[in-house]
């Protein structure tokens, strides 16, 4: 059942979008002195070698971070994300790509808490070893949805919850809707960022409608598709649904995506409708 390994996909266009949004939210939350809690429900291994057999086999990163990492960005959000990638690769060689918990660890202060759950028997110990010496961290070999019940709310009542399942099972879409409702009930002050793949357009619209139907307020949709929608093609793009988004996020993502999208667009894309940032539910 757990066949997904993120090492095959690290640094692809979907990671670029997801981590651009993650960094922008954390940068915003870090403007206040008060400690925060970052909770990562599907954390992965934390750090990926782009020279590994898995990364080289798909070479997906070459169409993602590989096209971008040395670019001098004008948008502040894109520059902040690229600075982070560059700080991991100081030798003018793109050797490593950080996963979402590593990104949090690189940005957060010692007083902030990092919580993560990961089920894969090989990826979990790799992840856990990176946090062994960090004081405020709780890394569990636990199902994401059980983790919400066991670990939320945290002691600190502000933060970000990232929900990033592999969506290998059809049931994961309804699991996300139910899991979000449970997590939000426990920790309504948090910002939530839910990643989703765009594979079959009608199915993804139904998923988004189900999130809207939870009745949770303040929902923002950020989507980037480097390929045009084409049934049977596979993943044309991906999106992030952000709940309780920082008020600056929509504008900063419009600016970043206008700059980034043309650089990652596939050759068969017409150039329009590459991305969208839309408020689905008001505050
Ligand atoms: C897309 S990857 C995560 C990538 C990571 N969030 C990042 O951005 O670097 C999804 C991860 O979820 C894990 N996973 C799958 N089902 C899970 C579950 N029910 N609970 C916790 N982790 C799960 C997989 O093993 C995989 O490592």
Q: 90-133 pLDDT, tens per residue? A: 998 999 999 999 999 999 999 999 999 999 999 999 999 999 99
Question: pLDDT digit string (tens) for 194-218?
Answer: 999 999 999 999 999 999 999 999 9
Q: How far is CA 52 from CA 5, 55, 84, 222, in A?
A: 12, 5, 21, 30
pLDDT averaged over the chain? Answer: 95
Choosing from 2, 44, 192, 238 the residue with most ligand 1 atoms within 8 A of its CB, the one to mutate for a pocket test is: 44
Q: Sign of the C-alpha dihedral, residues 124, 16, 86, 253?
A: negative
> Is 100 annotated as contributing to ligand binding?
yes
Q: How far is CA 274 from CA 59, 140, 146, in A?
A: 22, 37, 36
pLDDT at 269 over 80: no
CATH of 6-281, one of 3.20.20.60, 3.40.50.150, 2.160.20.10, 2.60.120.370: 3.40.50.150
- In degrees and rounded to multiples of 5, residue 48 shows phi and psi of -130, 135
What is the pLDDT, as a whole number, of residue 231?
74
Q: How confident is the model at residue 271 (pLDDT cuts 50, 70, 90)?
A: low
Tokens representing 175? 């699991």
pLDDT at 270 over 70: no
Total-model pTM: 0.97
Residue whose CA is closest, atom 12 of ligand 1? Answer: 42
> Is 143 annotated as contributing to ligand binding?
yes
Domain-wise residue ranges, the chain: 6-281
Give the largest Cα separation in the chain, rounded: 49
Instruction: Give me ligand 1 centre to Cα 163, in Å.
Output: 9
pLDDT at 7 over 70: yes
Question: pLDDT digit string (tens) for 28-75?
Answer: 999 999 999 999 999 999 999 999 999 999 999 999 999 999 999 999
Tokens representing 167? 């969506």
Choosing from 9, 18, 25, 43 the residue with most ligand 1 atoms within 8 A of its CB, the one to mutate for a pocket test is: 43
Q: How far apart are CA 103 and CA 155, in angstroms?
A: 22
Question: Is 175 designated active site?
Answer: no
What is the pLDDT, as a whole number, of residue 86?
97
Instruction: Give me ligand 1 centre to Cα 118, in Å.
Output: 6
Pocket of ligand 1 (CB under 6 A): 2, 4, 6, 18, 42-44, 99-100, 117-120, 123, 143-144, 164-166
Cβ within 8 Å of residue 165, ≥6 positions away:
41, 42, 144, 172, 175, 176
What is the pLDDT, as a whole number, of residue 272?
66
- Percent of the chain at pLDDT > 70 equals 98
What is the pLDDT, as a whole number, of residue 207?
97
Catalytic residue among 164, 175, 229, 268: 164
């Amino acid at each position: 059942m757990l066949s997904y390994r993120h090492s095959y996909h690290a640094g692809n266009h979907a990671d670029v979008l997801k981590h651009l949004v993650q960094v922008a939210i954390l940068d915003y939350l870090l403007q206040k002195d008060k400690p925060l809690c970052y909770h990562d429900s599907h954390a992965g291994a934390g750090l990926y070698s782009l020279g590994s057999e898995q990364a080289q086999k798909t070479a997906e990163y070459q169409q993602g971070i590989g096209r971008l990492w040395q670019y001098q960005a004008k948008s502040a959000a894109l520059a902040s994300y690229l600075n982070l990638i560059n700080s991991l690769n100081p030798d003018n060689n793109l050797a490593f790509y950080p996963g979402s918990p590593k990104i949090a660890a690189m940005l957060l202060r010692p007083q902030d808490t990092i919580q993560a759950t990961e089920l894969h028997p090989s990826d979990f110990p790799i992840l856990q070893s990176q946090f062994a010496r960090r004081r405020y961290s709780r890394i569990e070999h636990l199902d994401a949805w059980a983790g919400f019940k066991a670990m939320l709310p945290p002691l600190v009542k502000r933060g970000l919850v990232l929900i990033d399942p592999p969506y290998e099972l059809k049931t994961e879409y309804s699991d996300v809707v139910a899991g979000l409702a449970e997590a939000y009930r426990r920790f309504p002050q948090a910002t939530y960022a839910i990643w989703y793949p765009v594979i079959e357009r009608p199915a993804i619209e139904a998923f988004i409608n189900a999130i809207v139907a939870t009745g949770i307020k303040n929902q923002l949709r950020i989507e980037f598709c480097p390929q045009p929608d084409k049934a049977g093609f596979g993943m044309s793009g991906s999106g992030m649904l952000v709940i309780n988004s920082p008020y600056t996020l929509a504008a900063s993502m419009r600016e970043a995506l206008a700059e980034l999208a043309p650089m990652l667009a596939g050759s068969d894309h017409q150039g329009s409708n590459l991305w969208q940032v839309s408020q689905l539910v008001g505050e």
